[in-house]
Chains A and B, each alone.
Chain A
Amino acid sequence: MNRKIERVIKRVFLYFAVIIILISVLTPFIWMLSGSFKTRLEIQASDSKIPGKGPSWIPRKFTLDNYRTVNKEVKILDYFKNSIIISLGTMFFSVIIALLAAYSVSRFSFLGRTTYSVAVLCTQMFPGILFLIPYFVMFIWIRRTIGLPMRNTYWGMIFTYTSFALPFSIWMLRGYFNTIPREIDEQAQIDGCTKVGALFRVIIPLAKPGIAAVGIYGFIMAWNEVLFASVLTGNETTTVAIGILRYITAQEARWGGMMAACLLVSLPVLIFFTFLQRQIVSGLVAGATKG
């Protein structure tokens, strides 16, 4: 009898703990959602000091204006277009380059393989700020000597982000390739495939989930990046990550619009994640902890 009561109490505690966890995780999301449906007047007039006039979870007056005018003062849709171009570009190039490099590291035992793998790991560790100044100087230098504008261009940003996504992508794909038995591509070679042919005919079809995870990683990274975007993009290439900050200016605070934009900006990432949760999660775990 006692045992049973103890078990029930444990269960109750467990569910209680889970509810607390969920509340603390979801609070900011609910606040974002509720803020995006509030009128500007309601947000500005609320005052945490006065009881009854404090900010509330449920909008007092429900409005869709924030969504309707989301593109009015801040050109968030243009930023969306920029971000989609840059992110898709990053996804495309980082997958292709990482595929080749990861196949090479996974299947050939060539001179300098270990050095290369360690170098890949190393570059993943250094903070972006280290590269920012030389990068900026380099962009200016390229512009001056070759005449190719790099700052505030799509290809400049795609190039930047592809290179940032590469170390982790190579690392992740290499891990994935290593799980595919070598016998399979050896068999393909016996059947008359070249080594490179084996990559395209055998390995890639087998590694589709891993490739998807790497592609999504590149996309999300480019979509979320702030530091380089804040310096290297201009009016024509502003990404959403920088764009949503523009709702708050020295003159005006459009919190409602900002929350609506936040929701829209999160959507692509959320959609990707819902569909490919398992691949992304296993990729993340392996990428961070396995050598």
Chain B
Amino acid sequence: MENIRKKLSLFTSIKKNRIAYYLLVPALICMILVHILPMSWGFIISFIDLDIYTITNWSNAPFIGISNYLEGLNVYSPTGGRFLRSLWNITYYGIVVISFGYLIGLGVALILNQNFVGRTIVRGLILLPYIIPDSVAYSVWRFMFQARIGIVNKYLLSWGFISEPKVWLVGDKSIYAVMVASIWKGWPFTCLILLAGLQTIPLELYDAAKIDGASTWQQFRFITLPFLMPITTVLLLLSVLWNFNAFNQFYVMLGTDPGIAADVPSTLILREAFNSFHYGIGAAMSVVLMGIMLIFTIFYIKKIRTGETVQ
């Protein structure tokens, strides 16, 4: 009896909110077609031997179990070796870009939070790197990093850091060129979020601290930093997730094959699938990448949901 009543109330609840579901239908269709279906499909593809011959009729491709994964994660095979290297590259790149981006963003946010003439204009201007298209920004940086005709080498030479024009975009050093460009493109967003965070700190706290004789550093350490902590966690998690996404900067600055030292999962998977036509191996690599990202996503969702209940 209890059960039936529960079911009935469930039914009436669904019926009462019928319109809510109708309104969701278009969005749901889009999301199923674009996110859920392809994701499951990608999972299936990662277990079949899909190549240039079977691509036109994917259901005929032979099922090969976890061979794609074995190939993709095998240190000794050329593909697997490069994939593992690309995972290391993106981690290294991520650590550098996120930490520098955060420090610069925080520093600038603290500066821009002061009062000075033209503050509004400056705040608008620093967002320029963030809003211009990726391919524009990285094309300009590619030009700047050119060995002979680029402006970077000119200054490095005249300041005496290097004695010969360095070739930045080929070989071992290329990942550093991409890092510099990405930091330039990425910190304004961090700064924007942190500025918003800074503005939520009640000014009375600083006044009280000043009366108690707290130094500027102490004010920063015991008021500003704790207040920025929640937003920082969310921001860093988000940066980590987006960082694994990194493709545009590598593709625009270094081309489809950035070389072993600067290869990242996105560029490698793209080549594996669309240049070598090993769709199965590419899909398997994608699934591995997704597994890694899932961990961070769960953390992010947890953080953001707890933030909601606090508010």
| CB atoms of A140 and B56 under 8 A apart | yes
Say how far A101's CB is from chain B's closest CB, in angstroms.
4
Contact stretch, chosen from B17-25, B207-215, B219-227: B17-25
Interface residue tally on B, bucketed by range: 35 or more
Does B66 belong to the interface (CB within 8 Å)? no
Q: Mark B169-201, 1 if CB is under 8 A from A, else 0.
A: 000000000000000100011001100100000
Q: Which B residue sits closest to A195, measured CB to CB?
A: B19
Does A100 belong to the interface (CB within 8 Å)? yes
Q: Mark A40-71, 1 if CB is under 8 A from B, else 0.
A: 00011011110100110100000000000000
Whole-angstrom CA separation of A236 from B42 in the bound complex: 28
| CB atoms of B143 and A258 under 8 A apart | yes
Does B154 belong to the interface (CB within 8 Å)? yes
Complex interface residues of chain A between 147 and 167 (CB less than 8 A to chain B): 159-160, 162-164, 166-167
Q: Please, which residues of chain A bring their CB within 8 A of the CB of B28?
A: 101
Does A28 belong to the interface (CB within 8 Å)? yes
Does B1 belong to the interface (CB within 8 Å)? no
Whole-angstrom CA separation of A127 from B297 in the bound complex: 11
Q: Which of B27, B141, B143, B150 contacts A100 (CB 8 A)?
A: B27
Q: Mark A212-245, 1 if CB is under 8 A from B, else 0.
A: 0000000010011011001100000000111011
CB within 8 Å of A: which residues of B? 10, 13-14, 17, 19-21, 23-24, 26-28, 30-31, 33-35, 37-39, 41-42, 45, 50, 55-58, 108, 111-112, 114, 116, 122, 124-129, 131-137, 139-141, 143-144, 146-151, 153-154, 157-158, 164-165, 184, 188-189, 192-193, 196, 231, 234-235, 238, 241, 244-245, 247-248, 251-252, 265-266, 269-270, 273-274, 279, 282-283, 286-287, 289-290, 293, 296-297, 300-301, 304-305, 307-308, 311
* Max chain B Cβ within 10 angstroms of own Cβ: one of A24, A255, A291: A291
Whole-angstrom CA separation of A84 from B95 in the bound complex: 36
Q: Which A residue sits closest to B296, measured CB to CB?
A: A125
CB within 8 Å of B: which residues of A? 11, 14-15, 17-18, 21-22, 24-26, 28-29, 31-32, 35, 43-44, 46-49, 51, 54-55, 57, 96-98, 100-101, 103-105, 107-111, 113, 116, 118-123, 125-138, 140-141, 144, 159-160, 162-164, 166-167, 170, 195-196, 220, 223-224, 226-227, 230-231, 240-242, 244-245, 255, 258-259, 262, 265-266, 269-270, 273-274, 277, 281, 284-285, 288-291
Whole-angstrom CA separation of A108 from B42 in the bound complex: 34
Give the A-B contact count at a CB cut-off of 8 A.
299
Say how far B294's CB is from chain A's closest CB, in angstroms.
9
| CB atoms of A101 and B27 under 8 A apart | yes
Whole-angstrom CA separation of A122 from B148 in the bound complex: 45
| CB atoms of A166 and B270 under 8 A apart | no
| CB atoms of B247 and A128 under 8 A apart | yes
Q: Which of A44, A138, A240 contacts B38 (CB 8 A)?
A: A138
Say how far A195's CB is from chain B's closest CB, in angstroms.
6
| CB atoms of B290 and A130 under 8 A apart | yes
| CB atoms of A266 and B111 under 8 A apart | no
Given A55-B149, A133-B273, verify A227-B23 contact (CB < 8 Å). no
| CB atoms of A258 and B139 under 8 A apart | yes
Given A277-B124, A291-B308, verify A262-B136 contact (CB < 8 Å). yes
Whole-angstrom CA separation of A135 from B148 in the bound complex: 41
Q: Please, which residues of chain B bring their CB within 8 A of the CB of A255?
A: 143, 146, 149
Q: Please, which residues of chain A bring their CB within 8 A of the CB of B31?
A: 119-120, 123, 163, 166-167
| CB atoms of B251 and A226 under 8 A apart | yes
Q: Which of A231, A240, A274 contacts B270 (CB 8 A)?
A: A231
| CB atoms of B266 and A166 under 8 A apart | no
Say how far B153's CB is from chain A's closest CB, in angstroms.
4
Q: Please, which residues of chain B bring their CB within 8 A of the CB of A104?
A: 19-21, 23-24
Q: Which of B125, B127, B266 contacts A26 (CB 8 A)?
A: B125
Q: Which B residue sits closest to A99, measured CB to CB?
A: B23
Given A35-B143, A55-B150, A137-B45, verify A126-B290 contact (CB < 8 Å). yes
| CB atoms of A25 and B136 under 8 A apart | no
Say how far A109's CB is from chain B's closest CB, in angstroms.
8
Q: Please, which residues of chain B bring their CB within 8 A of the CB of A220?
A: 131
Given A110-B17, A231-B270, verify A266-B290 contact (CB < 8 Å). no
Say how far A34's CB is from chain B's closest CB, in angstroms.
9
Say how far A58's CB is from chain B's closest CB, in angstroms.
12
| CB atoms of B149 and A46 under 8 A apart | yes
Q: Please, which residues of chain B bring their CB within 8 A of the CB of A289?
A: 193, 196, 231, 234-235, 304, 307
Say how far A32's CB is from chain B's closest CB, in angstroms.
5
